[in-house]
Amino acid sequence: MESIETPTNPLGRFALSIFRVNGVLLRNGDRLTHSIGQSSARWQVLGRVGDHPQTVAQIARDMGHARQSVQRVADILAKEGLVSFQPNPANRRAPLLDLTPHGAAILRTIYALNETWTRRMLTRLTPEQLDAAADALEEIALILEEDEQQTRRMSHGD
């Protein structure tokens, strides 16, 4: 089997590091939420609608997931009474996903479980390190989104 050398350029290394961190965060999220019958995927959807109702497409776009995979999770959460689909005044065909009181209670429990884990992690990482990393990631995300939009415009002849 042929071996391919790992990228050494900064953007390639960055991407591989992000993929690794994402995987570790998802595994830890699954571990944290398992005891209450939840998962990282469910936590992500519940967390997205915790602030305000959103459509499945909005959630999928913001999370970088396929709409169909978010729809599957949303349907399960609705069947379990954690979320409900509400009419969307902006688009009749795209209902808004909203937390139910039971879903809000589950999300509060997840956040409490996460708080315990966070306190343990902050014995090894400082808030300043995490804030600096978050600021850098947000700036990188903006640059990547701008490039994505520019590439899309160029491919459509705009």
* The pLDDT of residue 113: 94
Enter the pTM of the model: 0.83
* The pLDDT of residue 6: 84
The whole-number average pLDDT for the span 89-100 is 94
* CATH class of domain segment(s) 33-116: mainly alpha
User: Do residues 113 and 32 lie in contact, with contact meaning Cβ atoms separated by under 8 Å?
Assistant: yes
* The pLDDT of residue 106: 97
Share of the chain above pLDDT 90, in %: 83
* The pLDDT of residue 158: 60
26-42: b or e for each residue (b if 16 or more CB lie within 10 Å)?
A: eeebeebbeeeebbbbb
Reference 40, options 21, 25, 55; nearest CA is 25
Cα distance between residue 83 and residue 111, in whole Å: 17
First CA to last CA distance, the chain: 44
Domain ranges of the chain: 33-116
